[in-house]
Amino acid sequence: RLAQLVDGLSGEAVHPYHYHLLRKQVATRKSLAVGSAIPDVVLPSKQQLGKVCASYAGKYLLLTIGASWCEQCQRVGNHIDSLVAQNPSVAHFNVNIDDDRRLWDAPVVQQLAIDHIPYIIVIGPDGRILSRDPRYWELHKLLPQAQQ
């Protein structure tokens, strides 16, 4: 829907610089759509996201983006850690934007189109995005049930 709105802008309705930023945001979000492969971006820890995801191949990966000062991020992290403890087919990897002094201007934030924290991306065993920004209390609906 956002793409349609941006495409409908013309003339003096929008400054060319802002139009360019909107188009870039739309393109980024399309490339990160559900079903897309997770891009191989450099994380603040200097790790490659693609390598991180590959190390969890065959598992559901809950990628969280947060900050140490964010209380809600801590709550989400604790909830996810309890899900992981109950289900061996699920893993958790946290990207802490505190690790990059640029914080909101950090490349990983821009490349993954993160606009708030905590932010969760659910990645399937095949490395494709299953969900972007689900509510943490609904994660169990996206994941397989643990084998008893």
The residues, ordered by sequence, that sit 6+ positions from 131 with a Cβ below 8 Å of its Cβ are 34, 120, 121, 122, 142
Give Dmax (Cα) for the chain: 62
User: Which pLDDT tens digit goes with each residue over 85-102?
Assistant: 999 999 999 888 886 666
What is the distance between the alpha carbons of residues 123 and 112, in angstroms, rounded to a whole number?
A: 13
The residues, ordered by sequence, that sit 6+ positions from 144 with a Cβ below 8 Å of its Cβ are 60, 87, 89
User: Which pLDDT tens digit goes with each residue over 9-59?
Assistant: 655 556 666 666 666 666 666 667 788 887 777 777 777 777 888 888 889
pLDDT exceeds 70 at position 4 = no
Tokens of 104: 């909101």
- Paired sense of beta strands 60-66 and 90-96, if any: parallel
H/E segment holding residue 129: strand 129-132
Q: Tell me the whole-structure pTM to 2 decimals.
A: 0.76
What is the distance between the alpha carbons of residues 103 and 117, in angstroms, rounded to a whole number?
A: 11
Tokens of 62: 């809950």
User: Which pLDDT tens digit goes with each residue over 57-76?
Assistant: 889 999 999 988 899 999 99
Question: Do residues 129 and 99 touch, judged by C-beta distance below 8 A?
Answer: no
Position 21 scores a pLDDT of 67
What is the distance between the alpha carbons of residues 86 and 115, in angstroms, rounded to a whole number?
A: 30
Residue 78 CA, distance from chain mean position: 18
